[in-house]
Structure 1
Amino acid sequence: MKADRRAVLGLGAAAVAAGGGGLAYALGHAPLPAGTLGGADMARGHRLRDGNFPAPSREEQVDLVIAGGGVAGLSAGWRLRDAGYDQFQLLELEDHVGGNARSGRNAVSAYPLGAHYLPVANREAKALQHLLRQLGMITSDTDGVPVYDPEQLCADLQERIFWQGRWQEGLIPRTGITTQDRADLTAFETTMAGYSKRVGSDGKPAFAVPMAYSSRDADLTALDTLSFAAWLDQNGWRSPVLRAHVRYAMRDDYGTEPGEVSAWAGIHYFASRRGWAAGNSGDNELTWPEGNGRLITCIAGFFPDRIAAGRIVHRVAREGDRVLVDSFDTAANATVRTRARAAILAMPHFVAARVCDDVGGAKDFSYAPWLVANVTVDRLPRGRGVPLAWDNVSSTSESLGYVVATHQGPDAIRTGSVLTWYLPLSTMTPAAARRLLVARPADEWKRIVRDDLLAMHPELDGAIARIDLWRWGHAMARPTPGFLWRGEALQPEPPLFLAHSDLSGLSLFEEAHYHGVRAAEAAMTLFGHDHESLL
């Protein structure tokens, strides 16, 4: 089945070697719809890699520089402003902040360019709950338990899977499966439930979000020495239905195949979510048409006066007890030197190691490439079985399916919509996948996207108005075996602080938010600024 799914999109090893091909190109030859090709600014990224920036031509001074405007950097800025500390500046390479939580918009709807939801927060995620209260997403408490605004929670139907010619609710097929499939699914779910309820000998949950609150019992940390696929083998669970679902999950959150994911990270996916909410909201997600772009806009709105976009930070160095931060201002075509008391490097680790000699360990990280397509349709998809859901996955596709941007809110009544389609390039090495992501022409990617959707929904023939592509060459850190708490050993000495989700090895909003808050509070402690920790 795995090989068949690869053939649908022409993404197997032979297809890569040939530069394309496979069934994806045989489903139709109608003119391709219009659309744009976007992504992280490769020109600026490659300039940072290659160096050769001019010498500084002007200087600035500020107490604290935050280098990087993804979720971690923005969360650091939010925490500083929340604590009444304003002497900071955030420098962002791109023209827009947000990292892989950015969003776009067209005449039909807003839509995500990457991350598209936030699960209801765990009890241990206190800093995140504080933010969600400020944003009005947690509206009150009932007996000390958060109450979420129902308008922010994913509406029904949440998920469905295309299985044996029909759409079924949920992401695991429950009909047309064998007795052994049922036995393995039951055993797996029972084991995950046990891990979810377990409290370690150190009094911490076995698996927590943020992961810093997880137990460090030896038998749990030992799970990081083998792959998730090997752990499934050890348990004798070989059901193709279970394996397909596990593969979907690992590619969905980590962009990585189960054979390359740490068993600890694999179990964390299934056992760490214990949403703390009143009523029946604990297993729901917060989502919006623009995905996590909603959160980015809200967080940046707390301190717009402290954000400087289009600034390529290319050198961070100590000068006595101070820090020098050199950044290239793309609008002014000049390098600016900022003298600061401290700096938070809120950037992927491989970038931080490039710009700052105090940061090492870059070779310990690898990053998953993704293609995201926002497909504008004149009419909503249908299909046999349960009706259209927010998240729609096909068991016969190598893609992760699509989410419907207009699933909820006032736009839900529209006949047309934007379908955000996801493909992690996980069947090859990340380096090879990045080369393919760049080398394959936009029209070939659009053909792949179109044909994959038409394989699920023949009724969309003639209804696809646009396909807007977005490439992520380094979308997320891959939690390969040995990743666990790797980031803790890489923290430099103050006044330098690291803050990014890849320090956790899990590219989750909660992890990025935690590291941003942690770094901001450490900087305030260094400065002697009075604050009460949220962590």
Structure 2
Amino acid sequence: MERRKFIQLTGLGSIPLFFGACSLPEIEEGYDVAIDSNRLRGHVLREQLSKPVSRTFENDLLVIGGGVAGVAAYVTAQQEGRNVALLETNSYLGGSAGGGNFKSARFAKGAHYDLIYPSYYGKDALGLLQKAQVITQNEFTKEYHFIDTQYLIDPKKESTCMRFGERVHEPLSDFEDLPVFEKLLQPYLGKMPMPTRLIPQELHELNKIDFHTWLMQQHSFSDEFIRAVDYQMLDDWGGTSKEVSAIAGIHYYMCRDYSKSPELLSPPEGNLYFVEKLLGLSDYQNIHLNTLAAHIQETENGFDVKAYNFEKDQVEKFRAKQIVYAGQKHSLQYVFPKAHRPELMAEASAWISINFVYTRPKEKVEHVFWQNDFIGENKNFMGFSDSRAQFDYIEKYDVLTAYYCFAPEEREKLIAFEKDPSGIIEQTIVYLKESLGGNYPEKLKYANVNILGHAMPLPKPGYLLNDWNQNRPIQNFTYAGVDTGNLPLFFEALDSGIQAVKGLAD
């Protein structure tokens, strides 16, 4: 199957068993659907790789993987004046921070925002973001601020939550347990920086137990409160409080002072904005899209990488003295077994995002919120973002982007959705209508289904704080990405790319 295919939906079709029996309201009709999945790209046929090499490239450094970490490594190397090339399997850069568009409407396929960074965060990443004109620092207060203020979310329109059919401000709002919870976490404010490798040594014990156990050791929290906490853990970490480490759980709430309403930036294209800003520091040379690194071999002078170019249907060879591997680490067992590190691997949760593009009405809709959390019987559905609370597009479209999270053992469900997305699309519309009521947009024109099979490493106890580049098996081969002992966050990915290049120079 091609990575991207288009179909026309004019009726409901079959609802997968994933949803169970349900009563559906009148459905949408006559909109286009795109499916974005690179699942099959990783399974290049042996016959394709057996073709003769059509072209050979030579570089000092080869970065494999064009997500945030890979782009950060590529840009950092160029800033150092190195001869560097970048390989990316997809037709776009950004990975889970990729973006898309329908006519004039741009949207995020995955990660879609970030919050301003405290001054105690990692200096290397902060410095690169300053160079890229993403942030600026006040010379008197030393606080950082986003430069493109037109993409800041108004705190009054920032979030709302539908919690088991009731409207609340946030997932934890109005619980009797909330004051106890906040008091329990308060001592950790300022001690949970990013990157997480900077967390003080005395707190590393929190990486050995799960968040639920740690919480219940402090206080007997109600089942309803824990369910809301679990929602937030799933939303950011891909697992419940019983699955993620205590250090990951505490970090979620204490990595910033949220009582001060930190700046929240959400551009129309999501975190692809940051990728494009970083690339503005480069000369855009030697970037190879639609190119899968299929086999890596050590040589006397470095490495030979056999790659398959999907666009040109040809095999290419890349010779490099050093490699930064920023691709998905589970692939190393096939691509380069010597560099595979199963003892450090994390399970990965899977995600689906669906961008719904609507024709904008003549009259502006009021009382809408950017982030719409949704806690209900379907634990996979995380909620949606609403561009109408975000900014005005250049032309005439509004975008709702819905998100689903699936446990590692549920990954097979994504294959069914890839084959027939009608069920998940129409059920999502049910949730959108339930949450928005009379503010649900009319005239759906387009739905873009993004399937991310290994989107988020699950930070279980023992996963964080492991430096993949320490005691690595091959000195001229470093690792980058959130799946190298990091939390699945933009700043973590950015820092890992920088450190991977610095590690090669050490």
The TM-score, its normalising length taken from structure 2, stands at: 0.86
Tell whether the 8 Å contact from 2:134 to 2:277 is kept in structure 1 after alignment.
no
Tell whether the 8 Å contact from 1:51 to 1:314 is kept in structure 2 after alignment.
no
What is residue 154 of structure 2 aligned with on the other side? 155
Which runs of no fewer than 5 residues in structure 1 stay unpaired?
Answer: 1-14, 175-180, 198-204, 527-535
Q: CA-to-partner distance for each residue in 1:19-57, whole Å, 9 max, x for gaps?
A: 34425x412253545232323312211227998543534
1:115 alignment partner, SS class: coil
2:27 alignment partner, SS class: coil
What is residue 407 of structure 1 aligned with on the other side? 389
Q: For the structure 1 residues 308 and 474, does the alpha-carbon distance in structure 2 shift closer, same or farther, using more than 3 Å as the test? A: same
- Measured in 1, the distance between the counterparts of 2:166 and 2:398 equals 22
Asked if 1:254 is matched to 2:254, the reply is no
Q: For the structure 1 residues 314 and 393, does the alpha-carbon distance in structure 2 shift closer, same or farther, using more than 3 Å as the test? A: same
Q: Which amino acid aligns with 1:498?
A: Y
Asked if 1:126 is matched to 2:123, the reply is yes
Greater mean alpha carbon deviation, residues 144-153 or residues 65-74 = 144-153
- Measured in 2, the distance between the counterparts of 1:164 and 1:93 equals 40
- Measured in 1, the distance between the counterparts of 2:169 and 2:237 equals 24
Structure 1 residue 241 displacement after superposition = 4.4
Q: For the structure 1 residues 300 and 57, does the alpha-carbon distance in structure 2 shift closer, same or farther, using more than 3 Å as the test? A: same
Q: For the structure 1 residues 463 and 210, does the alpha-carbon distance in structure 2 shift closer, same or farther, using more than 3 Å as the test? A: same
Asked if 1:377 is matched to 2:370, the reply is no
Out of 17, 24, 27, the position equivalent to 1:27 is 24
Greater mean alpha carbon deviation, residues 88-97 or residues 133-142 = 133-142
Structure 1 residue 505 displacement after superposition = 3.7
Q: For the structure 1 residues 226 and 53, does the alpha-carbon distance in structure 2 shift closer, same or farther, using more than 3 Å as the test? A: farther
Asked if 1:59 is matched to 2:56, the reply is yes
Greater mean alpha carbon deviation, residues 119-128 or residues 142-151 = 142-151
Asked if 1:396 is matched to 2:376, the reply is yes
Q: How does 1:227-266 map to 2 (within 5 A)?
A: 227-266=210-249
Q: How does 1:180-199 map to 2 (within 5 A)?
A: 181-182=175-176, 184-197=177-190
Tell whether the 8 Å contact from 2:210 to 2:245 is kept in structure 1 after alignment.
yes
Structure 1 residue 138 displacement after superposition = 2.3
Tell whether the 8 Å contact from 1:63 to 1:340 is kept in structure 2 after alignment.
yes
Percent identity reads 22
Greater mean alpha carbon deviation, residues 105-114 or residues 50-59 = 50-59
Tell whether the 8 Å contact from 2:353 to 2:450 is kept in structure 1 after alignment.
yes
Out of 325, 332, 337, the position equivalent to 2:305 is 325
What is residue 519 of structure 1 aligned with on the other side? 500
Q: CA-to-partner distance for each residue in 1:328-355, whole Å, 9 max, x for gaps?
A: 1223322222221111111121123321
Q: Which amino acid aligns with 1:334?
A: Q
Q: CA-to-partner distance for each residue in 1:389-437, whole Å, 9 max, x for gaps?
A: 211123336422111234334439x8851011111123x7244444454
Q: How does 1:419-438 map to 2 (within 5 A)?
A: 419-426=400-407, 429-438=409-418
- Measured in 2, the distance between the counterparts of 1:21 and 1:389 equals 26
The TM-score, its normalising length taken from structure 1, stands at: 0.82
Structure 1 residue 508 displacement after superposition = 0.8
Tell whether the 8 Å contact from 2:54 to 2:316 is kept in structure 1 after alignment.
yes
Q: How does 1:336-347 map to 2 (within 5 A)?
A: 336-347=316-327
Q: How does 1:136-215 map to 2 (within 5 A)?
A: 136-143=133-140, 144-149=142-147, 150-156=149-155, 157-163=157-163, 167-174=167-174, 181-182=175-176, 184-197=177-190, 205=191, 207-215=192-200
Asked if 1:82 is matched to 2:79, the reply is yes
Q: Which amino acid aligns with 2:197?
A: A
What is residue 366 of structure 1 aligned with on the other side? 347
- Measured in 2, the distance between the counterparts of 1:108 and 1:170 equals 32
Q: How does 1:8-19 map to 2 (within 5 A)?
A: 19=17
Structure 1 residue 164 displacement after superposition = 7.4
Q: For the structure 1 residues 480 and 234, does the alpha-carbon distance in structure 2 shift closer, same or farther, using more than 3 Å as the test? A: same
Q: Which amino acid aligns with 1:209?
A: M
- Measured in 1, the distance between the counterparts of 2:305 and 2:488 equals 26
Q: How does 1:289-304 map to 2 (within 5 A)?
A: 289-301=268-280, 302-304=282-284
Structure 1 residue 255 displacement after superposition = 1.8
Q: For the structure 1 residues 21 and 509, does the alpha-carbon distance in structure 2 shift closer, same or farther, using more than 3 Å as the test? A: closer
- Measured in 2, the distance between the counterparts of 1:212 and 1:91 equals 27
Tell whether the 8 Å contact from 2:370 to 2:389 is kept in structure 1 after alignment.
yes
Greater mean alpha carbon deviation, residues 25-34 or residues 367-376 = 25-34
What is residue 270 of structure 1 aligned with on the other side? 253
- Measured in 2, the distance between the counterparts of 1:45 and 1:73 equals 18
- Measured in 1, the distance between the counterparts of 2:416 and 2:463 equals 26
What is residue 102 of structure 1 aligned with on the other side? 98
1:326 alignment partner, SS class: strand
Tell whether the 8 Å contact from 1:491 to 1:497 is kept in structure 2 after alignment.
yes
Tell whether the 8 Å contact from 2:196 to 2:486 is kept in structure 1 after alignment.
no
- Measured in 2, the distance between the counterparts of 1:517 and 1:392 equals 34
- Measured in 1, the distance between the counterparts of 2:198 and 2:410 equals 30
What is residue 201 of structure 1 aligned with on the other side? none
Structure 1 residue 511 displacement after superposition = 1.0
Q: For the structure 1 residues 467 and 49, does the alpha-carbon distance in structure 2 shift closer, same or farther, using more than 3 Å as the test? A: farther
Out of 296, 311, 315, the position equivalent to 1:335 is 315
Aligned length: 481
Q: Which amino acid aligns with 1:45?
A: G
Q: CA-to-partner distance for each residue in 1:227-269, whole Å, 9 max, x for gaps?
A: 2222223233322443233112111111222222122211121
Q: Which amino acid aligns with 1:377?
A: Y
Q: For the structure 1 residues 339 and 136, does the alpha-carbon distance in structure 2 shift closer, same or farther, using more than 3 Å as the test? A: closer
- Measured in 2, the distance between the counterparts of 1:309 and 1:214 equals 36
- Measured in 2, the distance between the counterparts of 1:82 and 1:406 equals 38
Out of 245, 260, 263, the position equivalent to 1:284 is 263
Greater mean alpha carbon deviation, residues 391-400 or residues 514-523 = 391-400
- Measured in 1, the distance between the counterparts of 2:43 and 2:223 equals 42
Supply the RMSD in Å over aligned alpha carbons: 3.0
- Measured in 2, the distance between the counterparts of 1:464 and 1:258 equals 37
Which runs of no fewer than 5 residues in structure 2 stay unpaired?
Answer: 1-13
Q: For the structure 1 residues 33 and 134, does the alpha-carbon distance in structure 2 shift closer, same or farther, using more than 3 Å as the test? A: farther
Tell whether the 8 Å contact from 1:323 to 1:340 is kept in structure 2 after alignment.
yes
Q: For the structure 1 residues 493 and 240, does the alpha-carbon distance in structure 2 shift closer, same or farther, using more than 3 Å as the test? A: same
Q: For the structure 1 residues 432 and 309, does the alpha-carbon distance in structure 2 shift closer, same or farther, using more than 3 Å as the test? A: closer
- Measured in 1, the distance between the counterparts of 2:195 and 2:137 equals 23
Structure 1 residue 321 displacement after superposition = 4.2
- Measured in 1, the distance between the counterparts of 2:457 and 2:497 equals 17
Tell whether the 8 Å contact from 2:347 to 2:458 is kept in structure 1 after alignment.
yes
Q: For the structure 1 residues 321 and 122, does the alpha-carbon distance in structure 2 shift closer, same or farther, using more than 3 Å as the test? A: farther
